[in-house]
Structure 1
Amino acid sequence: MAKDPKPVDPDKMSRRKQFVETYRMASRSDPRLALWLLGSFVLGSAVGFVVFWLLLPTNGFLGTVIAVVGALLLGTLLAMIVFGRRAQKAAYNQMEGQPGAAAAALRMLRRGWKSDPAIAFNKQQDVVHRVVGPPGIVLVGEGNPNRLRQLMTNEHRKHERVVADVPIHEVVCGNGEGQVPLPKLVRHVQKLGRQVKPAEMTDVLNRLKALDANRSAVPLPKGPVPTSMKGMRQNMRGR
């Protein structure tokens, strides 16, 4: 009996394979993705052709070629923008309600952020993730809000003893009152402000190592969380 192929690390994929894998992942929950891409490409190309045709000083053969090239470029750009947003929405839809969804979403944070999944947990699979970045330390809870309250309080106190001079924020990911929905989690964390300078990040991370050294390794619960999030992020950023 043949064994299932192991998932490929997005870092080891070519740019083309990352794009294909992202498209497959997105099309599973967005059947109209191809129509959206085709429509945006046609619309962008039409607008681009008209704009270039009107702006060019000449309407001869050279002008036509330039207008066509410009139309194709604008159509491709618009299609890529639509693809990135639809793929992001599809990824969040697939992750919604799955264990580890918040941790997967936090991986989309750009440079200057350090994300540590499941630094604290309980038997009911309620977990607390940690993000260190410009706002300071952000504790992100995922699970039952009533059970998370004590878990978050304990983690806040532990971190406060180690980095008392660094702001500590608490965020609960969910759809209830006072919670942050999964699709808005990354943006919410980014908007918490800039209170820690990049030069101070190294010192904060070093001090947190002492705290983490006493923790046991906790694997995230397995589930249908997309494994191509990094590739999708790079596609959305045009990298």
Structure 2
Amino acid sequence: MAKEPQKKPRWYKLVAQAYKATAPDDKWLLPLMILIPVGVIGLSVLVGLLAGSTIVLVYAILFGVLAAALAAMYTLTRRFEKNAFQRMEGQMGASVSIAQSIRRGWKFDDDPVSIDPRGKSLVFQGIGKGGVVLLAEGGNAANKQVTAVKRRISKLVPGVPVHTIYVGTGEGQVPLKNLTKAIRKHKKALTKDQREQVGARLRAIGGQKLPVPKGVDPMRARPDRKAMRGR
């Protein structure tokens, strides 16, 4: 028998899950979700009273309730995202999970193109409108890997812009919360057809093979993609 399609969770269940995931680490979440909506409704009522019209007051209250609900949802969303980024910061492989949230114009591979287990550094590769973007994790430990990957890409697809983003919280690095913005800021250099050609060329040649001893499951040497996405 064919499996029944999984039902999408109700919106209120998603809201509850987001709140439960954020509240333990954010003491300001509940006060803000109460005070902001109350303030919005209070302001709306004040505007209605100053208008001196019952109809205006009714519409002002209705508008205030809707605006308060939106304000509460916005507050929860922003605090949830902030909390999620804080928890993911410093975890190896987190950058590509964030980069893959860009739905249009960019595509990032799940697996790193270069990995140095001893130096605890990774380099992920993405192709998009701005050319090729390398996401380097591990700080200065990834410098040699970035240089090697850039050299290989320049030989395979000469003329294609290659940008490097060092992900982290140190000097000259981009924190996870600003990563998508840093990727999108690159000016358009490739059309859709050109991106497909570049991607096909790089996939055909392949990247660095992981230095995994025989008899060892290679998946254990790679970052856990599901864990990075919070699944």
Q: Which residue of 2 aligns with 1:42?
A: 38
- What whole-Å deviation, never above 9, does each CA across 1:165-213 have from its counterpart, x for those lacking one? 3211011112222222222222112212222233433223222321338
For structure 1, the 5+ residue unaligned runs are: 1-10, 229-239
Amino acid at match of 1:185: L
Q: Which residue of 2 aligns with 1:160?
A: 154
Structure (1 or 2) with the larger CA radius of gyration: 2
CA contact (8 A) 1:49 1:70 kept: no
1:20 maps onto 2:16 in alignment: yes
How far apart, in 2, do the equivalents of 1:45 and 1:173 lie? 41
CA contact (8 A) 2:41 2:68 kept: yes
1:215 Cα deviation (Å)? 5.0
1:27 Cα deviation (Å)? 2.0
How far apart, in 2, do the equivalents of 1:203 and 1:47 lie? 56
Larger RCO of the pair (alpha carbons < 8 Å, separation 6+): 1
Among 118, 137, 148, which residue is 2:142 paired with?
Answer: 148
1:84 maps onto 2:54 in alignment: no
TM-score in terms of structure 1 length: 0.76
The 1:64–1:52 alpha-carbon spacing in structure 2 relative to 1, beyond 3 Å, is closer
1:159 Cα deviation (Å)? 1.8
CA contact (8 A) 1:98 1:224 kept: no
Give 3-state SS (helix, strand or coil) of 2:35's partner: helix
Q: CA RMSD in A?
A: 2.8
Q: Which residue of 2 aligns with 1:180?
A: 174
Q: Which residue of 1 aligns with 2:59?
A: 66
Give 3-state SS (helix, strand or coil) of 1:166's partner: coil
Where in structure 2 are the equivalents of 1:1-239 lying within 5 Å? 13-51=9-47, 59-60=53-54, 62-117=55-110, 118-124=112-118, 125-145=120-140, 147-212=141-206, 219-221=222-224, 225-227=228-230
1:109 Cα deviation (Å)? 2.1
* Identical-residue share of aligned pairs (%): 27
How far apart, in 1, do the equivalents of 2:46 and 2:205 lie? 61
Amino acid at match of 2:102: L
1:88 Cα deviation (Å)? 1.4
TM-score in terms of structure 2 length: 0.78
CA contact (8 A) 2:93 2:228 kept: yes
- What whole-Å deviation, never above 9, does each CA across 1:77-99 have from its counterpart, x for those lacking one? 22222222211110111111222
